[in-house]
Amino acid sequence: MAEPEFTATGVRIGKRLRSLTRAGQVRISDGRLQLLTSYGSEIDSAPVQAVRASKPWFATDDKALADVNGTRYSLTLGDHDPAPGEPGPPAARRFIEAVRKAAGRKG
């Protein structure tokens, strides 16, 4: 299995007004986006070309939206990228860029 192109841990994943996990994981690997619980169980996954990632209006820098298989998930990542070598979730902006890059979109 290849090295993941993007990984974020400690991500709050929600669907509508319901929180699915507070410490989930978002992974982009082998052309697929995976949303995982803190225990590693899959919440949802799809080919990156079918995923739409965006930033909600009037939201802080740590929020992102991901449309996966027709379901909109709200993601709360870190509000800033961690320093090199430091643990912590990357900013939502990096997640959106990673989805676009993995799908081969400019943006």
30-43 tens-digit pLDDT: 999 999 999 999 99
User: Is 10 contained in some domain?
Assistant: yes
50-70 tens-digit pLDDT: 999 999 988 877 899 999 999
Q: What is the pLDDT of residue 83?
A: 66
User: Is 46 contained in some domain?
Assistant: yes
Whole-structure pTM value:
0.85
Which runs of consecutive H residues, i.e. helices, occur in the chain? 92-103
Tell me the pairing of strands 32-36 and 18-29.
antiparallel
Written as one letter, the residue type at 64 is A
CATH no. for residue 20? 2.30.29.30
Domain encompassing residue 74: 6-105
Return left, alpha or beta for 85; rule: phi > 0 is left, psi -120 to 50 is alpha, else beta: left
Number of domains in the chain: 1
Does residue 105 surpass a pLDDT of 90? no
User: Is 1 contained in some domain?
Assistant: no
User: Is 61 contained in some domain?
Assistant: yes
User: Is 70 contained in some domain?
Assistant: yes
User: Is 53 contained in some domain?
Assistant: yes
